[in-house]
Amino acid sequence: MAEPNRFQIHIASLLKEYDISLEVRPGRAQANVPKHRVYIPGVYSIKTYFITLHEIGHLAVGLDASKLERERLAWEWAREKSIVKPNQDIRQVICALLFRHQCEAPEETPSELYMKLMRWWQNE
């Protein structure tokens, strides 16, 4: 097996720190907060690294806030913890995922901070 890269090493240390189990499976990444478990397709790129950070962020953030606020807080957590600055591609992915969640939660009005995070991709 190949040596773990710095992203995989960082994820492994966060899983340990937050006592989270991880399951690698294809498809959409997911966090199960009550089970303290994250499901990810792997950590093989900067994009999958950020997505994994976001899912771990869901466990760190918990279930108290509204759906969209939890998404925002999990991304803010990922931004704070990441060992690299996200490039524009990653910021665009984050924007697209936030937009998808917004479409999936038409009952909720996104906060100003949510909209600000969605705009972040284009101004850094």
Alpha helices in 1-87, H assignment, sequence order: 6-17, 46-61, 67-81
Residue whose CB is less far from Zn ion, 10 or 54: 54
Backbone φ and ψ for 37, nearest 5 degrees, come out as: -135, 140
DSSP track, 76-91: HHHHHH-SS---HHHH
CB 58 → Zn ion: shortest distance, Å? 6
Q: Describe the chain by its helix, strand, coil percentages, rounded to 5.
A: 55, 10, 35
Kindly state the tokens that stand for 119.
Answer: 């705009």
Measure CA 75 to chain center. 5
Which residue has the CB atom at the shortest distance from Zn ion?
71
| Total residues binding Zn ion (CB under 5 A) | 1
CB 117 → Zn ion: shortest distance, Å? 12
Residue whose CB is less far from Zn ion, 8 or 32: 32
Binders of Zn ion in range 61-100 (CB under 5 A): 71
CB 89 → Zn ion: shortest distance, Å? 18
Residue whose CB is less far from Zn ion, 9 or 63: 63
Residue whose CB is less far from Zn ion, 7 or 71: 71
Per CB under 5 A, residues contacting Zn ion are 71
